[in-house]
């Protein structure tokens, strides 16, 4: 299991808000919403393009290109045209640091 690494200071990511980080050759979106932090691969499973810039509403992020919505908590695809979940990662806050651990 890889380790947790620091990817941001909590002040960098307001609620709601996000930050795109690069960890181990992978682009991950760290999301702050509804008082919690989450992390998903920056990939919309519908067309393989970036997801991170999409509209964030509650626990849902919508892909900017075709509107597919994903739940940031478990990566589940909520609407067409996406049918497959995107990968989520573990996030925790220790002091002022936001830490990320890659899963899957």
Partner 1 sequence: MATNVLTDSHDGIGEINKYDFRTESKYVFKARKGLDPQIVSQISEMKGEPDWMRDFRLRSLEIFNSKPMPRWGGKIAIDFQDIYYYLKPANKQGKTWDEVPDEIKKTFDRLGIPEAEKKFLAGVKAQFESEVIYGSLQEDLGRQGVIFTDTDTALREHPDLLREYFSTIIPPADNKFAALNSAVWSGGSFIYVPKGVKIEFPLQAYFRINAENMGQFERTLIIVDEGAEVHYVEGCTAPMYITESLHSAVVEIIVKKHARCRYTTIQNWANNIYNLVTKRAVAYEGALMEWIDGNLGRRLTMKYPAVYMMEPGARGEILSIAFSSAGQHQDAGAKVVHCAPHTSSRIISKSISKNGGRSSYRGLVKIESGAKKSKSSVVCDALILDSASRSDTYPYIEIDEQDVTVGHEASVSRIGEEQLFYLTSRGLSGAEASTMIVNGFIEPLIKELPMEYAVEMNRLIELQMEGSVG
Partner 2 sequence: MAEVTTSLGFNREAFDAFLQSRGEPSWLRDQRCEAWAKFEELPLPSQKDEEWSRTDIRLFRLDRFGFPADRPAGARLADGLLTHRVELGGQVTAWDSHPHSARLNEKWARRGVLFGSLDELAAEHGDLVRSHLFRAVDAHYDKFAALHAAAWSGGTLLYVPRGVVIDEPLHMLSVISPGAADLGHALVILEDGAEATLLAETASLSEQSPGLHCGAVELLLGPGARMRYVNLQNWATGVWHFAHQKALVDRGAALQWTIAALGSRLAKVNQHVALVGRGAGAQVNGVMFTEGKQHLSYHTLQHHEAPSCKSDLLYKSALQDVSRTVWRGMIKVDPAAQKTDGYQRNDNLMLSDHARSDSIPGLEILADDVRCTHGSTTGRVDDEQIFYARCRGLTRKEAVRMVVAGFFQQVFDRITIDSVREALGEAIGRRIREYD
Q: Which residues bind partner 1 (CB under 8 A)?
A: 45, 62, 66-67, 79-81, 83-84
Q: Which helix or strand (DSSP H or E) is residue 38 part of?
A: strand 36-41
Query: What is the closest distance, in whole angstroms, from the C-beta atom of residue 103 to partner 2 in the complex?
Result: 14
CA atoms within 13 A on the CB side of 61: 31
By beta-carbon proximity to partner 2, the closer residue of 2 and 58 is 2
Query: Tokens at residue 27, please?
Result: 């682009």
CA 83, 24, 54, 74 torsion-angle sign: positive
Residues that bind partner 2 (CB under 8 A): 22, 25, 27, 47-50
Query: What is the closest distance, in whole angstroms, from the C-beta atom of residue 58 to partner 1 in the complex?
Result: 17
Query: What is the closest distance, in whole angstroms, from the C-beta atom of residue 16 to partner 1 in the complex?
Result: 19
């Amino acid at each position: 299991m890889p380790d947790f690494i620091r990817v941001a200071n909590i002040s960098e990511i307001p609620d709601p808000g996000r930050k795109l980080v690069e960890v181990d050759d992978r682009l991950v979106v760290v999301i702050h919403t509804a008082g919690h932090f989450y992390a998903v691969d920056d990939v919309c499973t519908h067309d393989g393009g970036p997801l991170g810039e999409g509209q964030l509403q509650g626990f849902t992020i919508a892909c900017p290109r075709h509107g597919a919505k994903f739940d940031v908590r478990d990566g589940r695809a909520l609407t067409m045209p996406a049918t497959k979940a995107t990968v989520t990662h573990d996030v925790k806050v220790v002091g002022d640091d936001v830490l990320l651990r890659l899963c899957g």
